[in-house]
Amino acid sequence: MKKSGIYTKSGDRGETSLIGGRRVPKSHPRIEAYGSVDELMAHTSMLRDLLEDERLKEDLLIILDIQMVTASMLAADFDVMPAGLPVVGKEQVDFIESRIDEMDASLEPLVSFVLPGGHPAISQAHIARTVCRRTERIILRLQQDHQIDDAIIQFYNRLSDYFFVISRKIASIRGIKQKPWKRGLQ
């Protein structure tokens, strides 16, 4: 039987390669950053799979593509991206902002904090939101010692807001009244 190309055994000693070829420990901050993006992509995909609205599903497919680009940017061991590698910039940040604005304009004004839940898709949007916030923090830590494009940070900052607004949009589409936070037992 022919050996699969899926495993290479090159990481058996706890190292992996960045784009550019440099070997680093699997605990390297760049690996942590793009690994967190990878985890967020899985949660984004789960949210997409739970939806029926084709426009929202298409938006999430675009977002998954942008996430994949940011993962490759975070995995690249270059101060300047080589020609041919995709990059994230103002256009992707503007896309997220426009989708937030469009969804938010169609919703009732928010008058209190809301508790996550009410439907699996709503809960999944909140899971994606919290993983996105953690991803943003990891990228910010990486930026302390490594050159990270500001558009990546802006994208993840907006994306967590997007996941909050899409949770409200899903509730609206499904006719689910979200539970306001009552600040404990009052």
Per-residue confidence (pLDDT) for residue 157, from 0 to 100:
97
Residue 185 lies in a domain: no
pLDDT digits (tens, 9 = 90+) for 68-109: 999 888 887 765 556 677 788 999 999 999 999 999 999 999
Residue 110 lies in a domain: no
Residue 15 lies in a domain: no
Per-residue confidence (pLDDT) for residue 21, from 0 to 100:
61
How many domains is the chain built from? 1
Range of the domain at 128: 26-75+87-104+115-174
Per-residue confidence (pLDDT) for residue 56, from 0 to 100:
98
Alpha-carbon gap, residue 105 to 6, rounded angstroms: 46
Residue 7 lies in a domain: no
Q: Are 146 and 30 in contact (CB under 8 A)?
A: yes
Residue 133 buriedness (CB in 10 A; 0-12 / 13-18 / 19+): middle
Q: Is the Cα torsion angle 26, 28, 34, 36 positive or negative in sign?
A: positive
> CATH no. for residue 131?
1.20.1200.10
Per-residue confidence (pLDDT) for residue 184, from 0 to 100:
65
Residue 127 lies in a domain: yes
Amino acid letter, 105: A
Residue 52 lies in a domain: yes
Residue 6 lies in a domain: no
Per-residue confidence (pLDDT) for residue 136, from 0 to 100:
97
Interacting residues of 84 by C-beta distance below 8 A, sequence separation 6+: none
Per-residue confidence (pLDDT) for residue 107, from 0 to 100:
96
Low-confidence residues in the chain, pLDDT < 50:
none
Per-residue confidence (pLDDT) for residue 122, from 0 to 100:
97
**Selection from 19, 29, 23, 28 nearest residue 11 by Cα:** 23
